[in-house]
Amino acid sequence: MVTSANPIPRHIARRGLTAKLRDYYTLTKPEVNLLILMTTSAGYYLGTHGSLNVVGLVNTLLGTLLVASGTATLNQWMERVWDGKMRRTASRPLPAGRLSTREAFWFGSILSTLGGLYLAVMTNQLAALLAVLTLLSYLLIYTPLKRKTPLCTLLGAFPGAMPTLIGWAAASGRIDSAAWFLFAILFLWQFPHFLAIALMYQEDYDRAGYRMLPSFDVDSRFTRAEILGFTVVLVLTTLLPTVHAGLPYLAAMLLAGAFLLYHVVRLTKSASKTLASRVVHASVIYLPFVLVIIAWKR
C-alpha cells in the first residue's frame, strides 16, 4: 500500500508517464507518417507556382500529420482484437493492454479533428476536405474490407495515394492533370510494396482472419505475378513525362525502375519471405528517388 509515508519514488512516476507517452506515440505509426509527409511534401512542392512558401508547407505537413496520426490511432482502435492475434502486432499498446480503448478512441478523434480544422484554417478547404475523405475511406472502406476480400489492397490504394493530392491542393488550391500523375505513381507503387508485405506475414494475417491474399493462390504465384505486373506499369508510368523532361530524366527513371524490377523479378521466381522483404525495402528506396527525379525536372 502506498501512503504519505511511503510515496511512489519520483523517478518511477516519471518513467511511467514516459512509457505512456511512448505508447501514444506508437499509436500514431510514426514510420508510416514519415512516408506520408514525404509524399505530401512532393505534392506541395510540385503544386507550387513560383517560389516555395515554406510556412505554407510546414502548415500543410503539420495538419496532414495530425490527420494521419489520428487515422492510424483509430485504425488500431478498430483492429485491436485482431491485432492481438498476430505476432507482429500483439505487443501494440491496445492488444497488450497498456492503453485503454477509450484513451485510444479519444486520442485518435482529437488528433483527426484538430488536423482537419488546422488544414481548413491554415491552408484551404480543399486540402482539408481531401484529408477528411482520406480518413473516412481508410477507416470505413479499407479497414473493414481487410477481413472480407483481397480487393482491400486495391481500394486501400486510393486513400494511400491521397497525400500527394493534399499537398498539391494546399499549395495551389486546385487539382490538375499533373497532380493526378503524381497520384498515379503512388497508387501503383503501393501494390508491390503492400503485396510483398502480405507475402511476408501471410500466416499472421491468416491467423487474424485478414484476407489480404486470394484463397486460391496457395503457392503465391498469382500474387507474385501481380506484383510484377503492377511494377512494370509503375515503371512505364514514370516514363511518360520523358518527351518534355528529356534524356536525363529518362535515364534516371530507367535506373530506378531497373533497381526495383531486379528485386521483383527475383521474387517472381521464388516464394521466399526473404526476397519479399527485399522487395519491400527496395520499394522504400525507390519511391523517394522517383519523387526527387520528378521534383528535379519540375
**Do 41 and 152 fall into the same domain?**
yes
* Integer Cα distance of 228 and 234 in angstroms: 10
Residue 272 has pLDDT above 80, yes or no: yes
Coil, strand or helix at 76: helix
pTM of the model: 0.91
CA distances from 290 to 51, 93, 144, 160 (A): 22, 35, 32, 17
**Do 191 and 281 fall into the same domain?**
yes
Coil, strand or helix at 228: helix
Domain range spanning residue 124? Answer: 21-174
**Do 31 and 155 fall into the same domain?**
yes
Residue that is written with C-alpha cell 519523387 in the block = 291
Torsion of CA 214, 220, 224, 226, to 10 degrees: -20
CB distance 181 to 241 below 8 Å: yes
Residues 32-61: tens digit of each pLDDT: 999 999 999 999 999 998 899 999 999 999
H helices present in the chain, as ranges: 10-27, 30-47, 54-78, 80-83, 101-122, 125-137, 143-145, 152-172, 177-200, 202-208, 221-238, 242-245, 247-269, 273-296
Residue 86 within any structural domain of the chain: yes
Q: What is the pLDDT of residue 197?
A: 96
Q: What is the pLDDT of residue 223?
A: 96
Mean pLDDT of all residues belonging to the chain = 93
Residue 293 within any structural domain of the chain: yes
CB distance 257 to 185 below 8 Å: no
Residue 32 within any structural domain of the chain: yes
Residue 13 within any structural domain of the chain: no
Residue 73 within any structural domain of the chain: yes
Find how far residue 273's CA is from the centre of its chain: 21
Residue 44 within any structural domain of the chain: yes
At residue 262, what is the residue type? Y
135: domain CATH number is 1.10.357.140
* Integer Cα distance of 297 and 279 in angstroms: 27
Residue 297 has pLDDT above 90, yes or no: no
CB distance 70 to 32 below 8 Å: no
* Integer Cα distance of 6 and 49 in angstroms: 64
**Do 196 and 278 fall into the same domain?**
yes
Residue that is written with C-alpha cell 508547407 in the block = 57
Residues 188-205: tens digit of each pLDDT: 999 999 999 999 999 999
**Do 121 and 157 fall into the same domain?**
yes
